[in-house]
């Protein structure tokens, strides 16, 4: 009788463990990198703004980010001349994360912003980056290399008189918490 009871407990334990292994998990639920580029005194004409990451564009991933970020109708509505101007203005040794693909790393962003705010989200946000802006008239500005010092932060860009982008990092986490020790 004792042996049967132990056997029943063991069977119940194994059944419980099997059930626990079949429960779905959310493996990708932690915080992700985010960079918000805020444009001040931006161009009055239409423009595209993108992040540049180190490394030449990989033809295998060209347009991946456009497919991730734009439904087919929105992709068709992108200005092909402005898109080509942006791609042409990318310095050697760098690639445009949205306009040229991000070497297989997903990044969620749009080339156009809302009221000068351009959010870039997910694991493809580079640690070292540059900001590029290209206008409809063909003017382009590229920032100096910047470094993201926090998981989620902001960069402020301003169209200056010298046709340059001034960039600096403001560590601005989207979420905050306080730990108190008593």
- Tens of pLDDT, residue by residue over 49-97, are 999 999 887 777 666 677 777 888 888 899 999 999 999 999 999 999 9
What is d(CA 131, CA 37) in angstroms, rounded to the nearest whole number? 8
What is d(CA 33, CA 15) in angstroms, rounded to the nearest whole number? 39
Least confident piece of the model among 59-68, 99-108, 130-139, 172-181 = 172-181
Percent of the chain topping pLDDT 90 = 20
- The torsion angles phi and psi of 22, rounded to 5 degrees, stand at -95, 0
Res 1: pLDDT? 65
C-alpha 109: how far from chain center: 6
Would you call 174 helix, strand, or coil by DSSP? coil
pTM: 0.70
The closest of 128, 146, 163, 155 to 43, measured between CA atoms, is 163
């Amino acid at each position: 009788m004792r042996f049967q009871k132990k056997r029943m407990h063991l069977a119940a334990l194994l059944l419980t463990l099997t059930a626990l292994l079949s429960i779905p998990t959310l493996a990708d639920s932690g915080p992700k990198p985010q960079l918000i580029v805020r444009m001040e005194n931006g161009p009055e004409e239409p423009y595209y703004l993108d992040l540049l990451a180190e490394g030449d564009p990989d033809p295998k991933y060209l347009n991946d980010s456009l497919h991730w970020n734009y439904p087919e109708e929105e992709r068709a509505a992108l200005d092909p001349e402005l898109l080509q101007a942006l791609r042409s203005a990318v310095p050697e040794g760098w690639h445009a994360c949205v306009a040229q693909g991000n070497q297989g790393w997903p990044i969620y962003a749009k080339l156009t912003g809302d009221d000068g705010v351009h959010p870039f989200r997910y694991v493809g946000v580079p640690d070292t980056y540059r900001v590029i802006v290209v206008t409809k008239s063909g003017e382009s500005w590229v920032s100096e290399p910047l470094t993201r010092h926090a998981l989620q932060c902001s960069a402020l860009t301003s169209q200056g008189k010298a046709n340059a982008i001034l960039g600096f990092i403001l560590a601005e986490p989207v979420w905050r918490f306080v730990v108190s020790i008593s």
